[in-house]
Chain A
């Protein structure tokens, strides 16, 4: 195994610039385009219909408009034999009947069409899911912060949470930028990204702490650099194996799981970067010193 000796921290201004650009693009896109929220959060009805042969979306759209479902959107789902039809919650009174009506109307016009999946989410349930989801994200960040505060020190905790927030915002930004559908599974993936990215950050922080104690004579910058290099092999290998399985999910997992796998893949890449550059840079910027770590050491002994 190779010994790494990169001077990571000398490039931290470049990294800061890079992060700032990504963050402002993400937030910008968020404000300009917003998120393309999935059915889980907006409410409404969704029908996936499989056709026997390739089908033009226009044909189906025209048929739906003719049948009185004007607000529906029709798009390909996975292949051009599968169509996803989404209808906002404003149409009609009986939301749960809508998917049946759409399907039966289509199967009359296009014999052989099969109902692959149908969902209906009432607006109230959608609002609840959105609220719970937001709360869960916040709760995850807070729990993580408390745990790190307890296991490490305040500076590490701030560094870790800034790194996590960085990752979450950028993944959200990518979804907003490309207007990919953000649904409940993507939210779950986002929480998993928090867990994953934190793994990385903790491993790096752990080494920084250890080295601060062992290498008392070195400067903070040197110590952080050395720690990053020592953990680099592990960081890369772990990210690589995780990316293997995620790419496998992207290739084989099918359309249903695509958003989930994409969010995780982006999250893992960004999380790896942020555990090197964001968490550690924050530590340096906050002016971490050897003395900052002396208090928890005694705590550790008591424990």
Chain B
């Protein structure tokens, strides 16, 4: 009779030959029940509904601190312009106004926006949901689960960074810098050639000696691979990108794009935006609760910049001149920049006090300010032009060996927005006019946020309205409750007392699942809720396996022995069945994103908690009820 299964399950260490049958040692009970109590504590924060709230934050360093904002908000409250306020509090560098309901939240947003903007304070106001976790719970580290976008409402974007364009740009500006270096050191190369082909720079020389001295002159570019070539009596230096260098440049581009994106989304009025790198060349942006996703889309991959250049002189080299129309006149300007928007420290949209036209006030950083000063000092009386550059992302279909693939490219639009005579040496602060209001606002935001290193394209978007989010929460909740009640009723009806024990275990399973999800900071999605529901249905399985096994064993054993054999023999089967589902959940975790990932997480966590609760918790209860008793018969 002693087949391998019962011999192979020392896990519970119950009974054995010496101890009483079907009873745990007290430390085992204590352990199990402390896990349950801990689970209940960390699941508890989910019971507290968050407050609708407004989060008010200063945009730029120049604006007022949170304490000042708070006091002006309190003034609004006192004068009765906003009402239904629970509390105004300062958290970090923002002020949170907790409201009583959603309607007053929306009403207050408009009031706060108007009054603070009238005070010329540059603030961002986000609709938020402030946690109401009691202090004692949060001091224990208790946090509620995060809600996914399908439950909270909001927008999710996947952006593809166009590395190819970026690398081309890097190589092309390196070739410009090389040309400058060679000219400066008076090393003659063969003129009139195009140096660039793909991502390599080929510089032609008439003699080997010139090439040798060029290598010396270009030691600054040691991060490029270097090759010497000879073709039809000409001597070439060929600079190229190494794999390492490409990876390094890509990392740098992504980092800069991430920084810029974070700054951008911070101004969108979203309380907890997420911006993360995904894989080698993609970026994920999650904007929970965003009201206007179209605006977000506009600002995310917008590529706008400024370039400050001198106007060309009659003796300027033709190859270094570009011409643009400005107020109907063709103007020639140098193609080299004095400074660009990348040297901007701060930018604010404002209005010209005399004309009332929109303008952008710009403050340059140290480097930019010095360069501007140096150049303008020597060129008083000459004109300076400001070029506004915008890259518009486009996608086109391309036929590659019979497959239609999408190709990203950008259309660059450049226009002169101002040409003015330099009256005196310029410093760090400027104002720029010649833009319409929307352009001025966007330009200020984008300059503040920092330019994107490489252009990006939206390759995936998921937007869920707040209303649908609320509906999804409601339907998710109803399905959990409906399914759970059916299962509980059925178990009591079918298994009587054992069913009650199983129901307790099932409830605990749910509590543990929620607590682990909360502690892990996992995100709950609608498929995630479905995963919970499914876990409930499937968790019963372990108990059913045990109970039907006990029923069978009752035929040829005493009740106590049958209970023990039932638990022991079912254990291996349960483990086998769960391990494979666990594998499936892990596979799902690796492919899925967003909602599907939420499902995989609940499935995986649910398997762990259901094994704990159906095996250990049920066992503990059954032991408490039936252990150490002289049982003649057993109803199951």
* 14 more A-B residue pairs beyond the given contacts A117-B463, A238-B544, with a C-beta to C-beta distance below 8 A: A90-B397, A100-B297, A115-B465, A118-B293, A118-B462, A118-B463, A139-B587, A198-B577, A206-B572, A237-B540, A252-B475, A253-B476, A256-B468, A260-B527
Closest to A199 in B: B577
Q: In the complex, what distance in Å separates the CA atom of A243 from the CA atom of B533?
A: 11
Q: In the complex, what distance in Å separates the CA atom of A117 from the CA atom of B152?
A: 12
Q: Is B3's CB under 8 angstroms from A192's CB?
A: no
Q: Is B394's CB under 8 angstroms from A99's CB?
A: no
Q: Is B587's CB under 8 angstroms from A140's CB?
A: yes
Which chain B positions have C-beta within 8 A of A144?
Answer: 580, 583-584
Given contact pairs A120-B458, A147-B580, A242 touches B475 in the complex (Cβ within 8 A): no
Binds A, one of B102-110, B486-494, B623-631: B486-494
Which chain A positions have C-beta within 8 A of B540?
Answer: 237-238, 241-242
- Interface membership of chain B positions 260-300, coded 1 if the CB is closer than 8 angstroms to chain A and 0 otherwise: 00000000000000000000000000000000011001000
B591 interface contact, C-beta 8 A: yes
Q: In the complex, what distance in Å separates the CA atom of A231 from the CA atom of B464?
A: 45
Given contact pairs A248-B533, A254-B475, A140 touches B584 in the complex (Cβ within 8 A): yes
B484 interface contact, C-beta 8 A: yes
Q: Is A256's CB under 8 angstroms from B526's CB?
A: yes
Q: In the complex, what distance in Å separates the CA atom of A198 from the CA atom of B541?
A: 13
Contact of B4 among A96, A148, A242, A300 (CB under 8 A): A300
Binds B, one of A8-16, A57-65, A121-129: A121-129
B119 interface contact, C-beta 8 A: no
Contact of A246 among B464, B537, B552 (CB under 8 A): B537
Which chain A positions have C-beta within 8 A of B472?
Answer: 254, 256
**8 A Cβ contacts from B411-467 to A:** 457-465, 467
A179 interface contact, C-beta 8 A: no
Q: Is B530's CB under 8 angstroms from A260's CB?
A: yes
A222 to chain B, nearest CB (A): 18
Contact of B479 among A93, A121, A136, A252 (CB under 8 A): A252
Q: Is A253's CB under 8 angstroms from B460's CB?
A: no
Closest to A245 in B: B483
Q: Is B293's CB under 8 angstroms from A93's CB?
A: no
**8 A Cβ contacts from B580-600 to A:** 580-581, 583-585, 587-588, 590-592, 595-596, 599-600
A135 interface contact, C-beta 8 A: yes
Contact of A198 among B5, B491, B581 (CB under 8 A): B581
Q: Is A99's CB under 8 angstroms from B585's CB?
A: no
A interface residues with partner B (beta carbon < 8 Å): 1, 48, 50, 90, 93-97, 99-100, 104, 114-125, 129, 132-133, 135-136, 139-140, 143-144, 147-148, 151, 184-185, 187-188, 191-192, 194-196, 198-199, 202-203, 206, 210, 213-214, 230-231, 233-234, 237-238, 240-249, 251-254, 256-257, 260-261, 264, 297, 300-301, 303
Q: Is A242's CB under 8 angstroms from B394's CB?
A: no
A33 to chain B, nearest CB (A): 23
Which chain A positions have C-beta within 8 A of B531?
Answer: 192
Given contact pairs A97-B297, A124-B459, A198-B580, A245 touches B537 in the complex (Cβ within 8 A): yes
B563 interface contact, C-beta 8 A: no
Given contact pairs A136-B590, A144-B580, A244 touches B541 in the complex (Cβ within 8 A): no
Sampled A-B contacts (23; CB under 8 Å): A1-B636, A115-B465, A117-B465, A122-B160, A122-B459, A122-B460, A135-B591, A136-B588, A143-B587, A147-B579, A185-B596, A199-B578, A203-B545, A206-B573, A231-B548, A234-B545, A242-B534, A242-B541, A245-B536, A248-B486, A252-B479, A253-B475, A257-B479
Which chain B positions have C-beta within 8 A of A192?
Answer: 531, 534, 581, 584, 588, 599, 603
Given contact pairs A140-B587, A234-B545, A115 touches B487 in the complex (Cβ within 8 A): no
Which chain B positions have C-beta within 8 A of A301?
Answer: 4
Contact of B552 among A119, A140, A230, A253 (CB under 8 A): A230
Which chain B positions have C-beta within 8 A of A303?
Answer: 8
Which chain A positions have C-beta within 8 A of B483?
Answer: 244-249
Closest to A135 in B: B591
Contact of A251 among B5, B8, B482 (CB under 8 A): B482
The B contact surface, by secondary structure, is: helix
A228 to chain B, nearest CB (A): 13
Closest to B153 in A: A117
Q: Is A99's CB under 8 angstroms from B463's CB?
A: yes
Closest to B532 in A: A245
Which chain A positions have C-beta within 8 A of B476?
Answer: 253
Q: Is A249's CB under 8 angstroms from B458's CB?
A: no
B240 to chain A, nearest CB (A): 28
- Interface membership of chain B positions 496-535, coded 1 if the CB is closer than 8 angstroms to chain A and 0 otherwise: 0000000000000000000000000000001100110110
Q: In the complex, what distance in Å separates the CA atom of A245 from the CA atom of B476?
A: 12
Q: Is A116's CB under 8 angstroms from B468's CB?
A: yes
B249 interface contact, C-beta 8 A: no
Closest to A233 in B: B548
Which chain B positions have C-beta within 8 A of A245?
Answer: 479, 483-484, 486-487, 533-534, 536-537
Interface size of B in residues (CB-CB distance below 8 Å): 82
Most A-side CB within 10 Å, residue of B460, B491, B538: B460
Q: In the complex, what distance in Å separates the CA atom of A301 from the CA atom of B464?
A: 55
Q: Is A184's CB under 8 angstroms from B538's CB?
A: no
Can you list the 4 inter-chain pairs with the closest CB atoms, starting with the nearest?
Answer: A245-B483, A195-B581, A248-B483, A242-B537
Which chain B positions have C-beta within 8 A of A97?
Answer: 297
B396 interface contact, C-beta 8 A: yes
A60 to chain B, nearest CB (A): 18
B405 interface contact, C-beta 8 A: yes
Given contact pairs A120-B458, A185-B527, A256-B150, A199 touches B544 in the complex (Cβ within 8 A): no
Q: In the complex, what distance in Å separates the CA atom of A139 from the CA atom of B572?
A: 24
Q: In the complex, what distance in Å separates the CA atom of A210 from the CA atom of B293?
A: 60
B101 interface contact, C-beta 8 A: no
Q: In the complex, what distance in Å separates the CA atom of A187 from the CA atom of B595?
A: 12
Closest to B542 in A: A238
Which chain B positions have C-beta within 8 A of A100?
Answer: 293-294, 297
Q: Is A210's CB under 8 angstroms from B5's CB?
A: yes
B31 interface contact, C-beta 8 A: no
A192 to chain B, nearest CB (A): 7
Which chain B positions have C-beta within 8 A of A238?
Answer: 538, 540-541, 544-545
Which chain B positions have C-beta within 8 A of A120?
Answer: 458, 460-461
Q: In the complex, what distance in Å separates the CA atom of A254 from the CA atom of B477?
A: 11
Closest to A250 in B: B479
Q: Is A213's CB under 8 angstroms from B548's CB?
A: no
B393 interface contact, C-beta 8 A: yes
B478 interface contact, C-beta 8 A: yes
Which chain A positions have C-beta within 8 A of B595?
Answer: 184-185
A68 to chain B, nearest CB (A): 18
Closest to B294 in A: A100
Q: In the complex, what distance in Å separates the CA atom of A48 from the CA atom of B467?
A: 12
Q: Is B544's CB under 8 angstroms from A249's CB?
A: no
B228 interface contact, C-beta 8 A: no
Q: Is A125's CB under 8 angstroms from B459's CB?
A: yes
Closest to B155 in A: A118
Contact of A257 among B297, B526, B577 (CB under 8 A): B526
